[in-house]
Structures are given as C-alpha cells and as structure tokens.
Amino acid sequence: MVSRILSILINERTGTTVEVNYYQDPEELFAAVAKGKVDLYVDHVDSAIKRLKVDAPGKDEEERYRAVKRRFEEELNLIWLKPMGYSGVDRSGQDLGQASVVVSKDTLKKFPALPRLLEKIGTRVVLDDKSLDNLVARSGSVKPAKVARDYLKEVKLI
C-alpha cells in the first residue's frame, strides 16, 4: 500500500511516471536495489541492521536510524529520508523499526525536490500503523490504487 501511495504522489505532483514492482521477499528487493534496478523503496531500520549487520548502538531509535543512514550512504550510495511514522511488523509479529523511503543518490540528482515531496508523508501527514492497517483493509474490496489515491486526497497531498 505504501508503494502505491508514494507512486501516486510522485506521479500527481511531478508528472513523472512511477513503475511499482513487487518482489517475493525483502532480500529479492534489496538485491534489485543493489544492482541499481530500483530507484527508491521503503525499508525499516531493524531490517536494515540485520541485513547489513550494521553496528547500531542500543535501543535508541534515533541512534539506530542514524547508524543505518550513515552506512547506506557511505557504502551503497543510498539516502534514507526522514522516517514516515509507522514501523510495521514482520511475519513473526516483531517490530521492524521506523519505516523510511530510501532513494539512490543518482535519482536524487535527477529529482532534487523528491525528498521534500516524499517526506510530507511523515511530517505533514501521519501514516501510522493504525492508518496503514485501515488502508490495507480497505484495499480488500477496492483496488489498492484507488485506496491510495483517496487517501492522498483525504490528507490534501493531491
């Protein structure tokens, strides 16, 4: 659902067509990101810490976020934008840490206003776990793209 929201927001506000691809699991997605096949995606701090074995200090969310952000930028040329406001849970029910949009540096060079646009999801509009769960539930009976578009209209981003 979040990918639909982001793609519609980018399309409506910039006129750029965004292709949404789905992957079997986070590892397949990350492999595509590492090969430069994905310009932006949503990741979670705790997932990134486990995947790259980031040495993140303690349980302080802000410190863990900064450690992941620094490592991704230095080693992968990927920029973590500000957290969006929801954390999500994995299949075992474990919290994944704050969710953020992660964008390649090359994409940011082409679209320098992109961070300001995408960060509105977390700064101007709160997309928390409860809101996201409600949107996902609505998409059971309505096409996800319509649910995403309606949400963006509700929060006055399009």
Count the domains in the chain.
1
Which residues of the chain register pLDDT less than 50? Answer: none
**Structure token pair of residue 65:** 């976020």
Q: Are 104 and 39 in contact (CB under 8 A)?
A: yes
pLDDT of residue 97: 76
Q: Are 51 and 44 in contact (CB under 8 A)?
A: no
Q: How far apart are CA 152 and CA 62, in angstroms?
A: 27
Residue 91's domain comprises: 2-154
> Mean pLDDT, the chain, as a whole number?
88
pLDDT of residue 73: 96
Q: How far is CA 129 from CA 2, 9, 17, in A?
A: 11, 19, 27
Q: How far apart are CA 26 and CA 80, in angstroms?
A: 16
Which CATH number do you get for residue 76?
Answer: 3.40.190.10
